[in-house]
A and B are shown apart, each in its own frame.
Chain A
Amino acid sequence: MSAVLEVSGLEVFYGASQILFGIDLKIEQGQTMALLGRNGAGKSTTMKAIAGVVAPRAGRIAFGGKQMAGMKPYAVARLGLAYVPEDRQVFPEHTVRDNLLIAAKKGPQGQDEWTVSRIWQVLPLLERLRDRPAGRLSGGEQQALVIGRALMGNPTMLLLDEPSEGLAPIVVSSIGDLLRALRAQGATVLIAEQNMHFCLGVASDAVVIDKGKIVYRDNIAGLRENAEVRSQYLAM
């Protein structure tokens, strides 16, 4: 299998302070990769750099063999990478339906299987809220909306930054169901998370990031067995 997304030597600075110290990541077709780490370890910055929201100082990001480090977010999105930010960032005054419609586009190879009606099928709670301004949804409803919004772009890969953050357990489990369903359909996903238990249930592989470096990589079963890594890098 060839890597869909390949990150190497990624370095990001915010002003004078360095956040990422040479991140290497390789995600293959159909993998759901968990990027785990404590608060401040560099998870969100890694996601933002891949999505083009922050510009890396050094390193390479190849998606489908195409170099994209330094591209603008819309160019990254048009290559088929859909980014769901940590703080969700719904358009609060637009309705649920308009949030989805703004994001509608064909995939990089002209894919158009995701439509508003298909989103209603996989996320039925959204259909009931279709005319409500997104700013008036609960956190869980907003999270479902932004995942749906990302799918509306018919991406070939999803970047989900902390999809379980701040959500009630029942909502987390329904988002987990959705991600497992996407995985069963062959979706390629990178999830940044602090919530290891959530990732154990949805991911196929895991990498652990600490202080801006990848310190561990294995499949998800390996992480489940490795109490030492879990306590050293992921203990709450």
Chain B
Amino acid sequence: MDLDALGRCVSTASCLVTQTTSGLIAGLLLFLVAAGLTLIFGVLKVVNFAHGTFYMLGGYIAFTTLQVTESYTLAVLAGGAAMAVFGIFFERALIARVYGQDVLMQLLVCYAVVLIFDDLVKMVWGADFLAMGMPPAFQVPPLFIAGGIVPPFYAVLIGIALVIAIALAASLSGTRAGKTVLAAAQNPTMVSALGVNTDRLFAVVFAIGAALAGLGGALAAPVRSLTPGMGFSVLIDSFIVTVIGGMGSIAGALLASVGVGLIRGFGTIGFPTFTDGLIYVAMIIVLLLRPTGLFGREVV
């Protein structure tokens, strides 16, 4: 524990800016993945243990797309789009068979997919760490804000993640399709009885959730290394965020993700050996005070 260092950082503008930025980056990337997880849980009531696999595949697909096309924009879009398509197949072929069944069945199906794709990634891309590197357009000197170092790519990442967060929230609460999704989350049978093809709706929601994870992986690839099994730690973090924010709540996922990111950003300075522990402490405190999470509702 090094509270002196934490105190010095918080009272220095440059350190404050640097750590806040890196915390925001970590938090917002986590949000993209966790938002997909909480959306899928909220609507389909499926705990998607394979969500980290979508994140991993999104990263690897972006890696290869960037090598082939040299366009990072295309790479990100490819990561998201490929996972949307993959999500539809995954939901229709596998998850649709375990709706309403024991959560252990869902766990088994998802875990099988995790293992299979971890090995497939090893076969295709190799077992070693891969570094995508910073896209050429962002290989420029960093910005200095109040003395703190902010790479331009970080600023762009924050912008993209916030735009996706706002677009997701606005389309859920402001469009007829979004309202139908929210109604189906509460009462899928009634929504179906009104003539809405809930099979297709569920597949689309799953695809959006998977695409968010794929986008998260693609956007994270330049700042993190790629490795088979990289989905696991993201999955755990996403579960933590989903639990803190409240299962099924997008706003909760955003708040919790940014919170977790900032705890990481400043925790590495104040509590370098206990950073992950801090996040679990935060989760325990939230659950003691609000057992359904920040924005969660009673599960009926």
Q: Is chain B a partner of chain A in the same complex? A: yes
Chain A contacts to B: CB under 8 angstroms:
51-53, 72-74, 76-78, 82-83, 85, 89, 91-94, 98, 101-105, 149, 153
Q: What A residues does B198 contact at CB under 8 A?
A: 72, 74
Contact A91-B186, Cβ < 8 Å, known A77-B195, A105-B195? yes
Q: Is there contact, CB below 8 Å, between A74 and B193?
A: yes
Q: List 24 A-B contacts (CB under 8 A).
A: A52-B193, A53-B189, A72-B198, A73-B189, A74-B193, A74-B194, A74-B196, A76-B193, A77-B193, A77-B194, A77-B195, A82-B194, A83-B193, A85-B190, A89-B190, A91-B183, A91-B190, A94-B179, A94-B182, A98-B179, A101-B176, A102-B194, A105-B195, A153-B195
**B192 in the interface (beta carbon within 8 A):** yes
Residue from the list B179, B182, B183, B197 in contact with A74, Cβ < 8 A: B197
B153-183 CB contacts (< 8 Å) to partner A:
176, 179-180, 182-183
Q: Is there contact, CB below 8 Å, between B180 and A72?
A: no
**Total CB contacts across the A-B interface at under 8 A:** 59
Q: What B residues does A101 contact at CB under 8 A?
A: 176, 179
A104 to B183, CA, bound (A): 14
In chain B, what residue has the closest Cβ to A95? B179
Q: What A residues does B273 contact at CB under 8 A?
A: none
Q: Is there contact, CB below 8 Å, between B186 and A74?
A: no
**B187 in the interface (beta carbon within 8 A):** yes
Shortest beta-carbon distance from B107 to chain A in Å: 26
Q: Is there contact, CB below 8 Å, between A102 and B193?
A: no
**B2 in the interface (beta carbon within 8 A):** no
In chain B, what residue has the closest Cβ to A84? B193
Q: Is there contact, CB below 8 Å, between B183 and A72?
A: no
**B199 in the interface (beta carbon within 8 A):** yes
Q: Is there contact, CB below 8 Å, between B195 and A103?
A: yes
A82 to B192, CA, bound (A): 11
Q: Is there contact, CB below 8 Å, between A53 and B193?
A: yes
Q: Is there contact, CB below 8 Å, between A73 and B192?
A: yes
**B191 in the interface (beta carbon within 8 A):** yes
In chain A, what residue has the closest Cβ to B177? A102
Residue from the list B179, B189, B197 in contact with A102, Cβ < 8 A: B179
Nearest first, the 10 closest Cβ-Cβ pairs linking A and B are: A77-B195, A73-B192, A73-B193, A91-B183, A103-B194, A74-B192, A89-B190, A83-B193, A105-B195, A74-B197
Q: Is there contact, CB below 8 Å, between A93 and B186?
A: yes
A93 to B176, CA, bound (A): 14
